[in-house]
């Protein structure tokens, strides 16, 4: 990574001397500097109030989401709760955490693009 004078990432590239990758990087990885500094990047939870998105604290956001999930679960049952994760099979911790959370909620509904790609 190259940093500018303000220590912001301005360029990401692969290491050609790396014995395995030989400098290969995915497009998404090379573009992370743009995502990090994007003016559209969300830096806090948002809540729609009177048609406007307002910043709220993480504690308030999590409490409100938990309350809504509890209401849904009580009204429609545990199987009404599901998670949809990204398609990458690499972040195993995400899947372990997701399975544990779903088990605690009483659901087994976990979906991802991988569900569609490997259905056979």
**Cβ 55 vs Cβ 44: under 8 Å:** yes
Q: Residue 46's beta-bridge partner residues?
A: 55
- 18-33: pLDDT as tens digits: 998 898 888 878 888 8
* pTM over the 0.85 mark: no
Range 32-54 average pLDDT: 90
Q: Which two tokens stand for residue 69?
A: 């999930």
Helix (H) or strand (E) holding 58: helix 58-76
Whether the per-residue pLDDT at 44 is higher than 60: the answer is yes
């Amino acid at each position: 990574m190259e940093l500018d004078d303000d220590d912001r990432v301005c360029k990401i590239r692969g290491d050609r001397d790396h014995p395995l990758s030989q400098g290969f990087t995915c497009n998404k990885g090379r573009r992370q500097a743009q995502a990090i500094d994007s003016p559209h990047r969300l830096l806090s939870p948002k809540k729609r109030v009177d048609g406007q998105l307002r910043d709220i604290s993480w504690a308030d956001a999590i409490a409100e989401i938990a309350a809504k999930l509890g209401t849904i679960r009580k009204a429609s049952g545990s199987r009404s709760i599901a998670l949809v994760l990204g398609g990458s099979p690499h972040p195993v911790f995400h899947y372990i955490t997701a399975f544990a959370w779903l088990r605690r909620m009483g659901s087994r509904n976990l979906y991802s693009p991988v569900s569609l790609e490997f259905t056979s």
